Chain A
Amino acid sequence: MIDLSVKIGELELKTPIVLASGTCGYGIELKGITDFGAVGAITIKGVSLTPKEGNPPPRIFETPCGVLNRIGLENPGIEKVLELMPEMRKPGVPLIANLHAETVDDFKKLAALCMDFDAIELNLSCPNVKEGGIVWGKDPSLAGRVTGEVRKVTKKTLIVKLTPNTDRLEDVALACEEAGADALSLVNTYQGMEIDLDTWEAWRGGLSGPAIRPLALFAVRRVYEKVKIPLIGMGGIKDENDAIKFFLAGASAIGLGSIMLRDPEAPRRVLSGIIKYLKERNLHGIKDIKGRLRWKD
């Protein structure tokens, strides 16, 4: 018997496949396309206290084996998103609210409004506007402080999504764990840029897709060696082989992101592949492979 269930904080996932924020909308859009039976949880598109229009176009560029995006956190605000709750519940899958804010207070207000979600994920890749505009997730003390403050206002499973754009990733992870995070998800996109050859116009954006998979895998491993809380590993996962590498690196669950844009039926495909891999090796679940890689250098 293969047991694919995973526990992330108080969250019971039937499968270790989480739909990452920003690449599955509110789940509603995928009705009739994605087989939600293969999905452990849906992380909704990031939401803020008030509506955000997002960036003017262009917002998305294809790059070799990847996607560079600068959507700009477009969302209708928490009030409108909460109105979608009955529709969002229809797939019958746990819902994770992905939150972003420019101040600690706004993060707390948002978290307090998320009573009907099953878990909360803090997006720390946006700037702390009130205090110098430093990105929350680049600085261990900032990341720890915002996590701790949110922890005070909610009993929900609290996940912190880490940005890889820092040279203090492990310290940030530890600070979030100490401040009461139940789990970490990583990585968010890597900062990059694109240039138009005709106009010389340039844009900053976040890189995702298979291009970042080795970087993301390494980030997950480094954090796994430091913290005890479960990790949701993501970054360029396109198939079961990538997914299994993240488990071997230490992830308890994996996130599917950009691949959803190309193949919205990826969850079932990846899950079937994971089951096949485990069966062929007479393994019984993710726990049998989690973190079990052997360094050879």
Chain B
Amino acid sequence: MRLREGRVKRNEKKGNFYWMEVEIPEIPSLAGPGQFVMVRGWEGYELFLPRPLSIAWSSSTCLFFLIRVKGRGTELLSRMKPGEKIWITGPLGRRIELPEKFILVGGGIGIAPLLFLSRWGKGYAFVGGKNKDEIFGTELLEKNGFEVFLATEDGSLGYKGTVVDLFFKKLPERLPVYACGPRPMLEKLQGYDGEIYGFLEERMGCGMGICKGCAIRTKGGIKHLCTDGPVFNLKEVVFD
């Protein structure tokens, strides 16, 4: 998991997100479910740190990222053009063991790591966003054997309401759940009467466990997103 140089192959706007494909042959075969990478698309030092990104998909030589512009780093990444150099360390984080059948619950950009998980099983996928421009990847999920349920807060696509409401309403079977999305969404999902795991998010420095920057609170004390996660048993997580 050394620092590697890759090249952007494509970077397309999809609704409110960008779908970026990066040629970086050393990494895809090493990447497992639940892992992430640290990405830097600039040589200058004004933006000093790399950015943690979920692996959304992979081919034999490429990694795919789903990017939403949140700050300066993601803005720069969103503007990258095919052919440009990009630096990636990874895969990082803990690889998770998935059952054969499971449920995915993704809110907005939170769908990114769940797309990658869908490769390792089948089941049901609940996909939600503020509006239809925040819904991504449903075809890929269906192709991987997931029955998809859609929710948008403005009702522009699928059920009108939050993806969590839809999940509790439609819950087809009591299966292990893997969720990613904003904190309030994960907090509500803690009430699920079954196994529930969430991809957490925190400001990160190194991604490798050396800076202790990405701390989260759990019932078992402080844990670090980059080495203990990013996937945690949601029932163990203490949201402040």
Contact = CB atoms under 8 A, between A and B. Distances in A.
B211 A22 contact: yes
Interface string A198-215: 000000000001100000
Given A261-B206, A264-B89, A209 B48 contact: yes
A56 interface: yes
Contact of A71 (B204, B211, B227, B240): B211
Interface string B116-153: 00000000000000000000000000000000000000
Given A54-B222, A57-B216, A69-B205, A265 B2 contact: yes
Contacts of A55: 215
A263 B42 CA distance: 13
A49 to B, nearest CB: 18
Contacts, number: 103
Interface in A124-166: none
Interface residues of B, number: 31
Given A53-B221, A62-B47, A33 B208 contact: yes
Interface string B90-103: 00000000000000
Nearest to B211: A261
B63 interface: no
A67 interface: yes
B2 A262 contact: no
Chain B interface SS verdict (over half): loop
A199 B225 CA distance: 24
A74 interface: yes
B50 interface: yes
B3 A265 contact: yes
Interface residues of A, number: 37
Contacts of B214: 57, 59-60
Contacts of B212: 22, 45, 54, 59, 71, 74
Interface string A12-38: 000000000011110001101100000
B203 A60 contact: yes
B215 A57 contact: yes
A231 to B, nearest CB: 24
Interface string A45-70: 10000000111111111111111010
B45 A62 contact: no
A263 B88 CA distance: 10
B217 A56 contact: yes
A57 B46 CA distance: 24
Contact of B215 (A33, A59, A67): A59
Contacts of A33: 1-3, 89, 208
Q: Which of A22, A60, A258: most chain B Cβ within 10 A?
A: A60
8 contacts: A22-B211, A29-B209, A53-B221, A55-B215, A58-B202, A62-B48, A66-B48, A74-B222
Interface of B: 1-3, 40, 45-50, 73, 89, 202-206, 208-217, 221-222, 227, 240
7 nearest A-B residue pairs (beta carbon): A60-B213, A25-B210, A261-B206, A29-B209, A261-B205, A60-B205, A59-B213
